[in-house]
Structures are given as structure tokens and as C-alpha cells.
């Protein structure tokens, strides 16, 4: 069944479609651009508004949205991509709450707000700053949720928290994130892949996984893994002398990264299982046919994922899926899981949440 318009349709969106995000680059911006590309491919135009606190002081959100509404001649739907640390260095983006409150009040029913919660708020031990900042960060997330018409998020854990904040009346859509480095239609089978381990993402994402890998190095080497390749911007993660060697490839363009992913047997990540749904790195491994090895501690299954079926948690001296058949089974399960929330499907679902799905023009 079709979930959205096709390229051949003559379409008119019901509402102008706008994505609102923090300034700068990163995972949220990559996610936004993937949605925009999917919509453009089916003829659905959209706008992007990026905003910082200094931008808002010069020209507020209401004025920016009103300009688009007037130019389009119709009301708008805004997807707010919320990640507190994107909008403020310490996640204390109270200014954003004020901007959204003002826009809701001044634009009335000309504004339909869909908030995508990429993150909620930080947490940590009492000796860390996150512990003391989290109450204010949680208040910000709660207030934005209550200002929204529809909520989106990427994990069941976040979805349950949001439901407690807004009650039963506000729609909440929970879908794990998609890969922001492409989605191959077919992948090389496990039998034809190089027995190497890829780790990519932000420097902190890579460092977290690689720092916990040496304890598993001898075990992985015994079971056939020959090489570890670190990909990404910034400096290489320091690596101790152990049974595995790491090659730092630095930043690659998407085509080069995809080639590595499509030919490598394994992908490395360090995420508690309850948060795997919000990892674009895990999503990339899943759709490109890499078996994900997780250095985080085992935890409860979430978001349709099962340890041992869709990914593997590394434990010292515990065997991993070394047979081709075992690896292929994990690859198949992960790709089937991923297909339920691919970029194309999510783009169509977002457009529906925004009342931006087109209406067909009547033939004369």
C-alpha cells in the first residue's frame, strides 16, 4: 500500500512544511537532510530554518515562520528537531521555549507543531554537571512536549517518558532512526565479506567503543577478526598494544564509507540496548549488512531488538557468531527490523503527522 505521493502525481501540500533545527552540523542535521531529500524525491517541497539564541535575538522564530506562511499563502507545519545540547552548550535552551511559546500564541492555528525528540535530558552521578542540569533540561523537554500537537521520538524509553508528560490526548510516534549514510537495496552476503571491524561516528562515539575493545581483542582475533578500521573526523582514538591493530582512516566521503560498510563483516558500537534505536551508526550497520558488536553491558531488549538475534553483546572469552550461517542470520534479522522504519517510510509518516501530505489536483 502506498504511504505517500509518487513522482508522477501533481500535488499540492495542505500545509507548508518546515524543519526547525539548531545551527551547525552533526547527526540531527544529517537526519533533517535525509528527510528533505526523501520529500524532494516525491515532489514535496520543504523549508529549513536553523536557529540559535543569538539568531533569535536578531529575528525571532515567529517572524521567520510568518514570512514563510505569507510567501506560501497557507498555514505551516513545523518539525522541531529537539536536542537540548544543539540549542545550548549546556542543554539549557530556555530561550527556545520562549520562542515556541510566542509563535504558538501569535500564529494560532496557522502553526501545527510536531516535535521530534532526538534526546530528552542528560543524566549522571552527583559529581557530574549533568546531574545538576537534568531537572531544568527535563522541564524544557516537558514544556516543549506540552506545546506540541504531535510528538515523535526514537526509543520506547523516551516514548514512555513523553506519554507521562502529556497524557493520552497527544499522538506519540516512536520510530528508531534511519541510516544517514544511505540504504543499499541489496547487500553482499556474509560469506563474501572481509573479516574486519568498522567503527565510525563522532569522536566521542568512536572513543567510547574503542576504549572498551582491548579486553575483547584476543577473543576476537582467535575467532577470525583481522583488522579494525576507525573512520571519522577529529583525532584517532589512542590504542594500546594488544592482539588487534587499528588503522585510522580519518574522515571519508559517504561513497567511501558505504563501500567499507558493504564489504566488512562487523561494526562496532557502545550503546546500552535500550538506546540502540536512537543510534544512526547502529542503523547504518544494520542496513549495510554488518553484524553489530556492542561493547556496552548487556541490558533489556527494546524497540524490537533482541541481543543475539539482531546484534551481539561482547563478553570476555564468550564466543561470537563465527560461522557464515550464524552471521547471515543476524544480518537478515537486522535488515528486516530496519526495513520497518526506513528513511522513505519515516519521511511519509512525518509528512502525514504534519498534515502536509498532498491532495490530488482535480482534472479539468
Q: Write the pLDDT tens digit of every residue in 256-277.
A: 999 999 999 999 999 999 999 9
Q: How many distinct helices (H) and strands (E) make up the chain?
A: 13, 14
**Distance (Å, whole) CA 300 – CA 303:** 10
Ranges 139-143, 290-294, 321-325: which has the least confidence: 321-325
**Distance (Å, whole) CA 270 – CA 131:** 22
pLDDT at 1 over 50: no
pLDDT tens, position by position, 65-107: 999 999 999 999 999 999 999 999 999 999 999 999 999 999 9
pLDDT at 9 over 50: no
pLDDT tens, position by position, 148-175: 999 999 999 999 999 999 999 999 999 9
Mean pLDDT of 119-125: 82
pLDDT at 350: 97
pLDDT at 8: 40
pLDDT band at 299 (very low <50, low <70, confident <90, very high): confident
pLDDT at 126: 67
Whether 268 contacts 213, CB under 8 Å: yes
Query: Which domains can be identified in the chain, with CATH numbers?
Result: 11-175+342-360 (3.40.50.2000), 190-339 (3.40.50.2000)
pLDDT band at 124 (very low <50, low <70, confident <90, very high): low
pLDDT at 358: 58
pLDDT band at 355 (very low <50, low <70, confident <90, very high): confident
Report which of residues 132 and 126 the model is more confident about.
Answer: 132
Alpha-carbon distances, residue 92 vs 85, 113, 140, 141, 361 (angstroms): 8, 21, 8, 10, 45
pLDDT at 19: 98
Give pTM, 2 decimals: 0.90
pLDDT at 13: 57
pLDDT at 131 over 90: no
**Distance (Å, whole) CA 160 – CA 337:** 21
**Distance (Å, whole) CA 41 – CA 7:** 7
Mean pLDDT of 119-144: 86
The burial of 183, by beta-carbon neighbours within 10 Å (0-12 exposed, 13-18 middle, 19 or more buried), is given as buried
pLDDT at 196 over 60: yes
% of the chain exceeding 90 in pLDDT: 78
pLDDT at 127: 61
Mean pLDDT of 297-322: 87
Amino acid at each position: 500500500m502506498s504511504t505517500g505521493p509518487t513522482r508522477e502525481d501533481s500535488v499540492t501540500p495542505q500545509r507548508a512544511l518546515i524543519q526547525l533545527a539548531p545551527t551547525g552540523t552533526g547527526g540531527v542535521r544529517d537526519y533533517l537532510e535525509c528527510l528533505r531529500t526523501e520529500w524532494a524525491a516525491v515532489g514535496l517541497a520543504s523549508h529549513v530554518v536553523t536557529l540559535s539564541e543569538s539568531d533569535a535575538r536578531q529575528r525571532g522564530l515567529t517572524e521567520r515562520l510568518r514570512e514563510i506562511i505569507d510567501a506560501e499563502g497557507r498555514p505551516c507545519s513545523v518539525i522541531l528537531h529537539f536536542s537540548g545540547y544543539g540549542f545550548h552548550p549546556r542543554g539549557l535552551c530556555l530561550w527556545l521555549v520562549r520562542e515556541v511559546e510566542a509563535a504558538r500564541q501569535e500564529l494560532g492555528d496557522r502553526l501545527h507543531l510536531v516535535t521530534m525528540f532526538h534526546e530528552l535530558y542528560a543524566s549522571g552521578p552527583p559529581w557530574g554537571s549533568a546531574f545538576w542540569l537534568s531537572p531544568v533540561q527535563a522541564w524544557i523537554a516537558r514544556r516543549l512536549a506540552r506545546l506540541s500537537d504531535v510528538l515523535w521520538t526514537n526509543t520506547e524509553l523516551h516514548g514512555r517518558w513523553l506519554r507521562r508528560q502529556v497524557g493520552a490526548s497527544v499522538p506519540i510516534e516512536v520510530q528508531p532512526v534511519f541510516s544517514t549514510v544511505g540504504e543499499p537495496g541489496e547487500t553482499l552476503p556474509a560469506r563474501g565479506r572481509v573479516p574486519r571491524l568498522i567503527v565510525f561516528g563522532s569522536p566521542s562515539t568512536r572513543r567510547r567503543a574503542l576504549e572498551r575493545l582491548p579486553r575483547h581483542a584476543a577473543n576476537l582475533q582467535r575467532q577470525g577478526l583481522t583488522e579494525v578500521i576507525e573512520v571519522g573526523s577529529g583525532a584517532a582514538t589512542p590504542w594500546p598494544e594488544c592482539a588487534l591493530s587499528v588503522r585510522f582512516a580519518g574522515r571519508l566521503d559517504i561513497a567511501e564509507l558505504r563501500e567499507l560498510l558493504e564489504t566488512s563483516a562487523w561494526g562496532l558500537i557502545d550503546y546500552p540496548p535500550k538506546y540502540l534505536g536512537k543510534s544512526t551508526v547502529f542503523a547504518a550497520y544494520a542496513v549495510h549488512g554488518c553484524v553489530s558488536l556492542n561493547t556496552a553491558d548487556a541490558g533489556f531488549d527494546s524497540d524490537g531488538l533482541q541481543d543475539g538475534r539482531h546484534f551481539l553483546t561482547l563478553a570476555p572469552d564468550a564466543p561470537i557468531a563465527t560461522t557464515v550461517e550464524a552471521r547471515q542470520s543476524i544480518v537478515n534479522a537486522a535488515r528486516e527490523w530496519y526495513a520497518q522504519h526506513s528513511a522513505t517510510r519515516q519521511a511519509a509518516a512525518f509528512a502525514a503527522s504534519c498534515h502536509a501530505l498532498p491532495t490530488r489536483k482535480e482534472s479539468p
